[in-house]
Structure formats: structure tokens, C-alpha cells
Amino acid sequence: MAAELAGLYDDDRRFRSTINMGQHRFGAGEYRYFARPLPAIVDELKHALYPRLLPIARDWWARLGRPAPWPDTLDEWLAQCHDAGQNKPTAILLKYGAGDWNAVFAREPAGRCEAPPSLVAPSLVPRSSLLSPGGAAPLQLAREPRWRAAADGPTGPPPC
């Protein structure tokens, strides 16, 4: 699965935008926003992981004393985002070189919807893509929190 995702990175037809993280102070490296239609594997992962990550996201926000905005299904969440004017797909594929990193952010710059926590799953990323400069990493690995310079709205470390 990881190799299939990483293999998509060089196919320009699959993406609507490429972001140089250093240029925008989001980190070092780059990422690409998938275009519609999303590759089947990306859509399947989103639908499979949403219900598993939802309880974690809701618990996190409860600890922050905030009402969690996320409904029970991904399709309901996407409808809410579309109603708020966020109509572009926000799934990304990251590409890191040696020493690159990605700043943490909570609000997608393309709209007003606050994203639930992202999946961190190092076991799904082949070791070779972690060690090889320029390897595409399908899932972000958390190292140390470096908060995104362009974040608008409340961001900060997770509750203890």
C-alpha cells in the first residue's frame, strides 16, 4: 500500500497543486494536494480511518473544553466542509528529503473546517522511503511539534 501511494507522487495528473513547505514556512520538503477524482486507495483509506480516528479527535477536543465539530461519518463531514465553501480535496502526499520536516496545523488553509488529527503510522511507510533523500512518504511521521507559521485560529500542543 505504501509503495502504491508513494508511486503516485510523480504523476502530475493526480494532483491539483504542489506546495514547497520551505517557501511558506510550513517546514522543509514538499507536498501535493490530490485532484478529483481521488485515487481509489486514498478514498478507501479516508473512509476506513475516519471512524477509527474520530473518537480520538473528539476526546482531544473534549479535553480542550471545546465542542467537537465532526459528525459520525466522513460523508457527513465532507458535506459540512462543502457547505462551508471548502470544495477542493485536501488529501495530500508528502515528499521529504534528508532532514525535512512538516509543521503541524489544525485548520486547512483552503477553508474554515478544522481537520481532525492526522494519522501517524510509521509502520505503513517503507523504511527505504524514510532513509532515501527525495522519497515520497504517504503518511506523515511525527517527530517534534513545530507549529505552522501560517495557522489561523487556535492551535497548540495536544492536552496532556
φ and ψ at residue 15, rounded to 5 degrees: -125, 150
pLDDT in tens, 43-75: 998 899 899 988 988 998 899 899 988 899 999
Average confidence score pLDDT of the chain: 73
pLDDT of residue 104: 60
Give the span between the Cα atoms of 38 and 14, in whole angstroms: 8
Q: What percent of the chain has pLDDT over 70?
A: 64
Q: Tell whether the torsion through CA atoms of 68, 73, 77 and 83 is positive or negative.
A: negative
